[in-house]
A and B are shown apart, each in its own frame.
Chain A
Amino acid sequence: MSLIPSDLKYTRSHEWVRIEDNIITVGITEHAQSLLGDLVFVELPEVGEELSENEDASVVESVKAAADVYAPVSGTITEVNEALIEAPELVNQEPYGAGWIFKLEVDDEEGLAKLLDAQAYSNVITSEAH
């Protein structure tokens, strides 16, 4: 069973979201990294980039496949995890910690209400497995 911390929010496209006031930190879940396998490249967004909800923000690439990471809500990129340029494997090793991908200043706080809690995300994974 995948690790799904209960203090985070989630999307159906396997991003996790940590909410601190109007700044969110985004990464991909333990489940997503295990499906992708060893990551070898992360394409980060630009600081200052404005994104709308569900727009492509970043691309994570494993040996096996490339996957888009989407902006969970609309907003502006305030910080990106530059450590991933040299060490993309941090996403595999610590998906909820050192493997975070970007921070975003939220435009639309109502969008946050649509995010899934840990239980709802766990149900998404279970339903995909069948």
Chain B
Amino acid sequence: MPKKTILYQAHLDAGAKMIDFAGWSMPIYYGSQLNEHHAVRKRAGMFDVSHMTIIDLKGLDSQAFLRYLFANDVAKLKQAGRALYTCMLNREGYVLDDLIVYYLGETHYRIVFNAGTHDKVLAYLAEESKAFNIEYCERLEHAILAVQGPEARKLLAETFPENIAEKILNLKPFSAISVENMFIARTGYTGEDGVEMIVPNLEIEMLWHKLLFEKNIPACGLGARDTLRLEAGYNLYGTDMDETVSPLVSNLAWTVAWEPNERVFVGRKALEEEKQNLTQQLVGIKLLDKGVLRNGLAVHTNKGNGVITSGSYSPILECGIALARLPVDCDKAVQVDIRGRLLNALIVDLPFVNKEKK
């Protein structure tokens, strides 16, 4: 039996079509996935992402442990509430998971990572943390709600008293605040403004209903979440990168903190070697002919073949778009093999869609 989030019944009440995702029963869409997508680009939409894992980590060695564990450097985080996106690598330099880490104090961090890697990452933490003076626990009693869109923060703020509303409106990108029992971070996976909120299970339903009925913020499913993140050029763990590739060939080199030179982190040695001879790159491609791009389709380039790691359809651009792993230095004009026909596509800059391009 798949696990259910605390909002399971609320999803059914809202007409959700549920699917199994990483061991969880999650909404894929409620009515029209395209309408949900456009709602987030135009105004606001909300997503239950309670299937993701929250870990709170404390102890004297917290910083030292995470500087060793993550490819990005948590020492960059100096103000309480600041967030950092990073990969966690294995010794081969391949990606064990991608996650967001929040700095909550000298010896206190919060980590939010993927549902699909829950067991693997917890086992890995247990093993790697043995030599460090830290302790950590999973925050099972909390739900996570992403409220995303150009008007998301304004609409959310309207549901709170003035002193809290002001804090939500003043929140800086990639930072978080704790108000009452809630943790509100200005982060997201859609390319729009908005927040991701960690809310006690006991309070999430009331907030959900308030946003749904009083603020008319539509519930959005994993389907829209996927097309939104793809338009924004964000990777999805398990398809765009996994334990067979490094961040350097996953368009995530920017998340690897090489400086300071003396910082030892898991996978560093392997990455330094790979950096000398990169043969692949993860890029965005846009289909010029009509059609929809799909995961696993072969991409023909003048330097050899590559493969689509996430393919879909852009509701904003109204064409097929994809992330593809291709040979380095290939020409921008490529062809995608769809059911035996070669269709024309073009390598384009990411993101496909941003706040200015829509």
Smallest CB-CB separation from B318: which chain A residue?
Answer: A40
Query: Could you mark each residue 7-39 of chain B with 1 if its beta carbon is under 8 Å from any beta carbon of chain A, else 0?
Result: 000000000010000000000110011100000
Smallest CB-CB separation from B291: which chain A residue?
Answer: A41
Q: Name the prevailing secondary structure of the B interface residues.
A: mixed
B residues in contact with A64, CB < 8 Å: 28, 33, 223
Contact across chains for A41 and B313 when beta carbons are under 8 A apart: yes
Smallest CB-CB separation from A61: which chain B residue?
Answer: B292
Contact across chains for A63 and B290 when beta carbons are under 8 A apart: no
At the interface, yes or no: A59 with Cβ under 8 Å from chain B? yes
Contact across chains for B223 and A61 when beta carbons are under 8 A apart: no
Contact across chains for B313 and A63 when beta carbons are under 8 A apart: yes
At the interface, yes or no: A66 with Cβ under 8 Å from chain B? yes
CB-CB contacts below 8 Å: A55-74 with B: 59, 61-64, 66
Contact across chains for B312 and A63 when beta carbons are under 8 A apart: yes
A residues in contact with B290, CB < 8 Å: 41, 85
At the interface, yes or no: B300 with Cβ under 8 Å from chain A? no
Smallest CB-CB separation from B290: which chain A residue?
Answer: A41
At the interface, yes or no: A38 with Cβ under 8 Å from chain B? yes
Bound Cα distance A66, B315 (Å): 16
At the interface, yes or no: B339 with Cβ under 8 Å from chain A? yes
Across the interface, B33 reaches (CB within 8 A) one of A37, A41, A85, namely: A37
- From B34, B292, B313, name the one whose CB has the most chain A CB atoms within 10 angstroms: B292
Bound Cα distance A6, B36 (Å): 33
At the interface, yes or no: B294 with Cβ under 8 Å from chain A? yes
Q: A59-B339, A63-B33, A64-B223 are in contact. Are A40 and B294 (CB under 8 A)?
A: no
Q: A59-B339, A63-B312, A64-B33 are in contact. Are A37 and B292 (CB under 8 A)?
A: no
Chain A nearest CB, measured from B223 CB (Å): 6
Bound Cα distance A82, B312 (Å): 23
B-side interface size class: 10 to 19
Across the interface, B313 reaches (CB within 8 A) one of A40, A43, A59, A92, namely: A40
CB-CB contacts below 8 Å: B272-289 with A: none
Chain B nearest CB, measured from A69 CB (Å): 13
At the interface, yes or no: B227 with Cβ under 8 Å from chain A? yes
Smallest CB-CB separation from B224: which chain A residue?
Answer: A63
- From A59, A63, A64, A85, name the one whose CB has the most chain B CB atoms within 10 angstroms: A63
Bound Cα distance A34, B291 (Å): 20
Contact across chains for A63 and B291 when beta carbons are under 8 A apart: no
A residues in contact with B312, CB < 8 Å: 63
B residues sitting closer than 8 Å to A (CB atoms) are 17, 28-29, 32-34, 223, 227, 290-292, 294, 312-313, 315, 339
A/B interface sample: 18 pairs, CB < 8 A: A37-B28, A37-B29, A37-B32, A37-B33, A40-B34, A41-B291, A41-B292, A43-B291, A62-B33, A63-B33, A63-B34, A63-B312, A63-B313, A63-B315, A64-B28, A64-B223, A66-B292, A92-B32
Closest 3 CB pairs of A and B: A61-B292, A38-B34, A40-B313
